[in-house]
Amino acid sequence: MFMKNSWKRALALGISAVMVFPAGAMASSSSTSIHAEDVKQFQQAAKSASLPGNETKKKVEMYKANKEMEEFLNSNTFVIKYNKPIAKQVHKKAGVKLVRSLPRLGYDVIYIPKSKKFNDVLKVYQNEKTVESISPSVKYKQFAPALGDPKKSKMYHLPMLNIDQAIKQAGKHKVTVAVVDGGVDYKHPDLQGQLLPPYNAADPSKTPARDMHGTHVAGIIASKANNGLGGYGVNPNAKILPVDVFNGKAGANDYTIAEGILYAVSKKVDVINLSLGGFGSSPLVEDAIQQAIDAGIVVVAAAGNESTDVYAYPAAYPGVISVGNVDRDKMLSDSSNFGPSVDVVAPGEDIYNTGYELGKGSSYATLTGTSMASPMVAGVASLLKSKYPNLTSYDVENILEKTATDLGAKGYDTKFANGLINPVAALKLDPKSLPVQPDYSEEAVLKTAKPLKNGENSFTGNIQSPGEVHWYKVDLNENEHVQTVLEGADSYDYGMEFYFIPEGVEEGVFIEHNKSRAGEKEAYLYTAAEKGTLVIGVKDVNDNYHRAGQSTYTLTANTITALQADANTSENPVEITSFPYAKGDFTLFPAEPEMPDHDYFTFAVNEPKVLSISLSDIPGVNAALSVSMVVDEEGGEEEVVMANDNGPSKGEVLSFKAVPGVDYKITVTNEATMMDGDMGSILALLGMGGGSIDLGPATTSAFPYQFKVEERQLPADEDGWPMAEDLEESLENGTIDPQTYAEEKAEDQADFTENMIDEEYNIDKEILEKAIPYTLGEEQSGYFQVEGDEDYYKFVPTTSGVYELDIVKGSSQMPMGTILQYNEDIDALLPITEGGDDILGMILALLGGGQQTNKTTVALKAGEEYVLRVANSTYNISGDPYTIRTKKIADVPKESDTDQNSQEKAANIKQGTTYKNYFIHTGDVDYYYFKNGEAEKIHRLSIKPSNVTAAQKATIPYDLRQPMIFSGMLIEDTNGDKMIDEEEALKQVPFGPSLFEMNFEPTVDLAFKAKKHTGYFVEVRSLMSAKPNLLPYEVKLSEMKSSLRDGDGKVVNHVPQKPIALKKAKDYLYVNGYMNAEIPFGDVDHFALNVAKDKRYDITLQMESGLDGKVEIYNEKGARVASFDHYGSGDEEIASINLKKGKYFIEVSETQGRASAQSYKLTVK
């Protein structure tokens, strides 16, 4: 539902980033996961980009970064569901462009030009009976990665899942798994013979765009066994159908994904893997998945990597097997999603398999994420189908859940779901022992349904098997009603189905109702349009169950003969003459069937009053409150304030200041309210929960609501800030008329909302002087006495540490806290947190992920002066207080530098020594200084996260050990005075990712030539530095070998004059060497190998992290016999080769000509 004058509008930018931008759950290399919060941190990093001394340039870069984000956010593309094809003239009348039509699913995809207002377009389709719903087209991200198999030892998941035994238990039937993902590397040697012809769903005229993610997923499922390369897949006998829906881009549109799924259905695959997703629900994708399930295809999807229990799609759709991920110790990965929508878990952390690198091509990689866990399950599903090809999707899910190894609380739990998949147990289970899929035919349901009696009914039950539905029935006459309320156990998400069979009609009308999440109340009022029988089904929407009976629910169903709409109308409102006022007998039941209801109340005041208006919970109804005022003699009205913040079955509260001389009208309604203005953002739609505007009947209720209007006496504003014009006072004094008042109020709110997003502050010493004293560790309450109110609190920590700030909200408010630190040098307060670091938490709360908290984690220094700014992001007055709570949660580790964040205070470093440090404080920048000696030398700068044990990680809260992505620069201090002048500032060599790239590397490896007697500054910052990070990182400077010291002399046609001899060990040959620097086209070392008789050799080359070694073998005439470059940087090359008697030369090189700081080792056995 679009919200006007709502905090959801203020969060549009942040919500968009999480909804549609590809960062929520990226798989990453080198065992480092990048999580959904990265996008928010990426934007914050753009604000603090390393641009010394140039604020203008910094703002330009910040603007560019935000513009880049907006390209992903404001697509203006919508999906329309229809029951009959929509005529072209309807789209023309709406002024939209038809992007794509999917008649198999009953959808049109449209694009709304920026010149069009969304409300105007919506009205056109609302008048079309063929149109059922409109939803935003969402983008999904990739959740982000006899010869023997030399890398099998790196695949810990194979023994964990006992895959060797599972393969032996599998059947002989051919199976195909569709990988709907990024493009699969169809040239990869470990996938040769495993792939069917690939398909590009985004652009069928093009070959799929190969990428790392899709290739890795395909390899986990079915990379080849016993081919002398890599390891092997969960089912190396399966075939892969690669379906590219990303086409080399960062995000994929839902309509492209739907077409990819339909393509897989048309090819009659057995399993579909979807290692992609996002928080936005797409009915288009859901319908495509349902077609796949109806065709007998097993659909498996990644649960997401946001470390939340909020539903991610498509994994949360009914019938999809949703997979969370665990590590090698069978512990839930930090990043893995969890909760009621997850079905099973599988290994997904540090998974080694096939990969693809730009520039190199086929390779291997270690990736982390539920994207890696999902193909584990897809592979096991294919093993089951190879043995029992007639298993349905229902059967496969039932087997996997029933045979899973329990990891958490006994039975199903919301952390590990049904447990860790157990392939061997699954394959040994006799399908005949499975419960028969319930018969939910009309005849069977009517026969087994429990009857309702007239009046009140109450039933309790529990779901103890997958797909179980409990049925109830009642006969109704025309215009009779049944009001239902369903409450379930906290860990289970229950929904209802309504099936009405009119008298004398064979086929009934079906309605599915599920508006709330696990543990929340569902309610629905059904009204019979004619005489017939209503059947009510109760089910777990995620097919969860508990055999011990803990999955309990209570259904109350009241049959009602007649309901009357309330008599008040816009022309005949209820007049409120005094306060407090209370009314408890009105309902949101309309006079006209299937239309929204509006109840109206009017009042005026004879003196200024702050009024609090409250509306109680109405089961099943998403109600809204608003106050409008008459602005002209013709009775024209303008909205003053509204509240629609809490969702279905939850009440609303708003407060505002009423002034004399104005006629006010309060509206209570169940109508969806649309955001005014042009279609700048699609995101409030996503906050509806269902993900679309349902153009069907409004949700009504037979329950009367409690409505109150009370006067509140608020204390004087605590700090007198901000100093702004009191529009209510101006209106009361006649300085402005009602129309001007309404316009200026709307403008003030827009300015406030923009300020909340842009985080622009006008802060000076006056605020510091007026700020309210506060002591850390104590509770303190405050009020928002005026619209747009901001309260400031000042404090000085007595001890340094990491502190948690929590602002507990009152009614009609969404407080956001920003901490500012006084900077004595410029005599100003500078923000060190960006309006609270839990923007993602607010978004997840909007989507149904529990209560939103306003917690901020920040490192504070003892003796420093700070200010806490508290603002109400709803802009409104609040009649109830907010409460500030703070506590110290961790000590600050000792850093290697003084944390002065300046080049003058840089820590001196020496080559060959490792220096550990931390990013603790917001905007922390660490400086190091190296002074070269008498000779020019090549050095390599290495920056990487320090290795920590599992036990060490366990002592640090997850929020305080986020992954680090390093950025910064190397700056030459030409004169060696440890100062940077203007000319030297131009000699910057930046490192780390560009702000406009989404390719994050967790390490830095930078080689440079150090001039004699010259100094060098190293500036290091973390791109992900929104919170304190208690994990250390390390910096090391290493000297490179820079001369031809190997002694292999002149080389002609790969035949060296003086080849280097291999050293002898007990049963193998070996040598240690370096890749020397300053060699044109890169260093190549040559070694002699004399083969006395035909023999098989195993060759291994191990180079340091960051280098990609290559081995080539030539005969004595210079003809190449073999070349080995299968693996990537830091991954040892392993190969086997049969050599005939003779003389050979082994060449060792680095694929990109990079030099080494550490020796490599070549082994020949």
* Active site residues per annotation: 181, 213, 371
- Establish whether the linkage from the previous residue to 314 is cis, with ω within 30° of 0: yes
* Cis before 722? omega within 30: yes
Whether 244 and 200 have beta carbons less than 8 Å apart is answered as yes
- 8 Å CB contact between 877 and 810: no
Q: Which residues contact 1121 (CB under 8 A, 6 or more apart)?
A: 1113, 1114, 1115, 1137, 1139, 1144
Contacts by 48-51 with C-beta closer than 8 Å and gap 24+? 48/923, 48/1021, 48/1025, 49/995, 50/925, 50/967, 50/968, 50/969, 50/990, 50/1019, 50/1021
Instruction: Find the DSSP H helices in 272-369.
Output: 283-294
| Closest to 776 measured CA to CA, from 859, 616, 885 | 885
**Taking CA 865 as the corner, what is the angle to CA 863 and CA 871, rounded to the nearest 5 degrees?**
145
Measured distance CA(454)–CA(557) in Å, rounded: 10
CA distance 494 to 513: 10
Strands annotated E in 893-1025: 907-908, 914-919, 925-931, 937-945, 966-973, 988-991, 1004-1010, 1015-1022
Q: Which helix (H) or strand (E) holds 797?
A: none
Helices 55-73 and 38-47 meet at what angle, rounded to 10?
150
Residues 6+ away with beta carbon under 8 Å from 709: 576, 579, 580, 581, 582, 601, 603, 611, 612, 613, 666
1000 is written with which tokens?
A: 């994050």
Q: How far is CA 289 from each of CA 136, 370, 891, rounded to the nearest angstrom?
A: 18, 19, 49
Q: Which residues pair with 586 in a beta bridge?
A: 705
Rounded Cα distance, 580 and 568, in Å: 20
1128 contacts 1110 by C-beta, under 8 angstroms:
no
Grouping H, G, I as helix, E, B as strand and the rest as coil, residue 154 is helix
Residue whose C-alpha is closest to residue 603's, from 624, 628, 621:
628
Q: How far is CA 123 from CA 119, 201, 313, 1072, in A?
A: 6, 32, 29, 75
Q: What is the rounded radius of gyration, in angstroms, for the C-alpha atoms of the chain?
A: 33
Give Cβ neighbours of residue 38 (< 8 Å, ≥ 6 apart): 23, 24, 26, 1000, 1024
572 by DSSP, 3-state: which? coil
Give the β-pairing of 790-795 and 772-773.
parallel
Could you please report the per-residue DSSP string of 64-92? HHHHHHHHHH---EEEEEESSPPPHHHHH
Alpha carbon dihedral 724, 728, 729, 734, in 10-degree steps, equals: 120
Tell me which long-range contacts 728-736 makes (C-beta under 8 A, separation of at least 24). Answer: 728/608, 728/657, 728/658, 728/659, 729/608, 729/659, 731/659, 731/661, 731/662, 732/608, 732/659, 732/660, 732/661
Q: Using DSSP bridges, classify how beta strands 988-991 and 1029-1039 pair: parallel, antiparallel or unpaired.
A: unpaired
Spatial distance between the Cα atoms of 438 and 456, rounded to a whole number of angstroms: 29
> Residue 535 and residue 541: Cα distance in Å, rounded?
17
| Strands (E) located in 1068-1164 | 1069-1073, 1084-1091, 1095-1102, 1109-1115, 1120-1124, 1133-1139, 1142-1150, 1160-1164
Under a CB-based contact definition with an 8 Å cutoff, are residues 752 and 760 in contact?
A: no
